[in-house]
Amino acid sequence: MKGIKFLISSVLFVLSLAAAAQNITVKGTVAATDGEPVVGAYVFVKGSANGQLTDLDGAFTLPNVPADGTLVVAFMGMKTKEVPAFPPFPSSWKATPST
Domain-embedded: residue 40: yes
Domain-embedded: residue 1: no
Domain-embedded: residue 3: no
Residue span of the structural domain in which 82 resides: 24-95
d(CA 63, CA 65): 6
Domain-embedded: residue 56: yes
- Domain count within the chain: 1
Among 67, 70, 79, CA closest to 23: 67
Domain-embedded: residue 52: yes
Domain-embedded: residue 34: yes
* CATH code assigned at 83: 2.60.40.1120
Full pLDDT tens readout for the chain, 99 residues = 443 443 343 333 333 444 555 898 988 888 888 889 999 999 999 999 999 999 999 999 999 999 899 999 999 988 898 988 876 655 666 666 666
Sheet with 42-45, strands from edge to edge, namely 51-53, 42-45, 70-74, 81-84
